[in-house]
Amino acid sequence: QVIKCKAAVLWEANKPFSIEEVEVAPPKEHEVRIKIMATGICRTDDHVVTGALVMPFPIIIGHEAAGVVESVGQGVTSMKPGDKVIPLFIPQCGECKSCLNAKGNLCSKADLGKRSGLMFDGTTRFTCKGKAIHHFLGTSTFTEYTVAHESSVAKIDSAAPLEKVCLIGCGFSTGYGAAVQTAKVEPGSTCAVFGLGGVGLSAVMGCKAAGASRIIGVDINKDKFAKAKELGATDCINPKDFNKPIHEVLMEMTGEGVDYSFEVIGRTDTMSAALACCQRNYGVSVIVGVPPATQKIAFDPMLLFTGRSWKGSVYGGWKSKDGIPKLVGDYMKKKFVLDPLITHTLPWTKINEGFDLLRAGK
């Protein structure tokens, strides 16, 4: 059966979301239709609105959510109607090179590089006013119902509170994993986290969980410092308070630079600063924020020649279908908290207000 429901449709870039009635087709083979119960707003979604992340319009975005399986298509074996699930913006097909390699997690089926806005079969499950509406990263969570491929859905603990664990769908797992999984922060090490939004705070939590002795938060919004300290930051600095480049400030604070740095904003200037503030021989800098389209970085190769490593981290380095349920399990065992990452809870028809809060740094 086709389901008619409400969704927040983006008809074009730089325009507000429009709450529309959409038709959601039933799931095809190896697909799952999900009733979305809670969804977070992530900066990556805003990049689509502004055009920094180029996607085809019209589109239903959103990719950080939790819900309940409404129906399953033919051949689906890993879940059934009624199961609690988290949609995965990076699938885990289990067959491509990245899925088969112990070090990999960027499944070749992911729409992150192609940005087609379509299901695996090249079609869409959404229509509105007679027009086909594109999907976003195989998830599309700003809607009451969505359809995703089975490899893009993780079944989670039936007792998990969906309004909290939806954050494990992107923000928390991305930041926390960048520290514990991609960088593999060691006990006693020194870390710097550039950007103290939800993902940056999750990176701070990851550094703390890994036993870092010093965690320096860097942000131009000092209102974010109190929460960063509550979650494990030992120092917080505002680049606007100094007359010199921030990497020099960090070098002076730490003697020879930090062991690990994380860029959790998605700006090329801060990516360069994060690399430069690392210890020159064994420092590791991780790019976590989505880089802006069309921009390039020019940097002195001597920064890498002396031994520094520069890495990227997608989805915190977790193999999605395996890793996300384990993180939900860890949350249920109280190994980390999620409440401090939730600043506002709005009815989803107020989605435009939610994005205003995001852009205001609130």
Using the predicted structure, report yes or no on whether residue 181 has a pLDDT greater than 80.
Answer: yes
Residue 177 lies in a domain: no
Residue 134 is given by DSSP the state B
Looking at residue 203, which CATH number applies to its domain? 3.40.50.720
Q: What is the dihedral of CA 308, 222, 343, 348, to 10 degrees?
A: -90
Q: Does position 295 have pLDDT exceeding 90, yes or no?
A: no
Task: Assess whether 20 and 148 both reside in one domain.
Answer: yes
At 290 the pLDDT is 84
Going from the C-alpha of 356 to that of each of 86, 97, 197, the distances in angstroms are: 25, 40, 15
Short-list 139, 110, 105, 107, CA closest to 318 = 105
CA 252, 189, 234, 336 dihedral sign is positive
- Domain co-membership, 45 together with 155: yes
Buried b (16+ CB within 10 A) or exposed e, 237-265: bebeeeeeebbebbbebbeebbbbbbbbb
160 and 191 in a common domain: no
Is the confidence at residue 136, as pLDDT, over 90?
yes
pLDDT of residue 146: 98
Q: Is the pLDDT of residue 53 over 90?
A: no
In terms of domains, do 122 and 151 share one? Answer: yes
Pair (223, 338) in one structural domain? no
Same domain, yes or no: 47 and 148: yes
Residue 109 lies in a domain: yes
Query: Is 354 part of any domain?
Result: yes
Mean pLDDT of the chain: 96
* Shared domain check, 118 and 21: yes
**Position 176 in a domain:** no
- At residue 303 the predicted structure's pLDDT band, cuts being 50, 70 and 90, is very high
Residue at 51 is within a domain: yes
CA distance 140 to 142: 6
Asked whether residue 52 carries a pLDDT value surpassing 90, the answer given is no
Identify the pLDDT of residue 114.
85
The CA distances from residue 255 to 176, 248, 284, in Å, are 26, 10, 16
**How many domains does the chain fold into?**
2
Residues 81-123 pLDDT 10s: 999 999 999 999 999 999 999 999 999 999 888 889 999 999 9
Q: Which domain holds residue 27?
A: 3-171+317-360
Give the pairing of strands 18-24 and 126-128: antiparallel
Q: What's the pLDDT at 285?
A: 98
Domain check: are 155 and 205 in the same one? no
pLDDT of residue 351: 97
Question: Is the same domain home to 70 and 117?
Answer: yes
Q: What is the pLDDT of residue 87?
A: 98
132 pLDDT above the threshold of 90 = yes
The Cα 278–Cα 256 span in angstroms is: 8
pLDDT confidence tier of residue 185, bands split at 50, 70 and 90: very high
* Residue 162 reports pLDDT greater than 80: yes
Instruction: Please give the helix or strand (H or E) that residue 218 lies within, else none.
Output: strand 214-218
Domain of 121: which CATH number?
A: 3.90.180.10
Give the pLDDT band of residue 261 (cuts 50, 70, 90): very high
pLDDT band at 34 (very low <50, low <70, confident <90, very high): very high
Of all residues in the chain, the percent with pLDDT exceeding 70 is 100
Look at residue 293 in the predicted model and tell me its pLDDT: 75
- Examine the domain organization and report whether 220 and 151 are in the same domain: no
Residue 361 has what pLDDT?
A: 86
pLDDT(178) > 80: yes
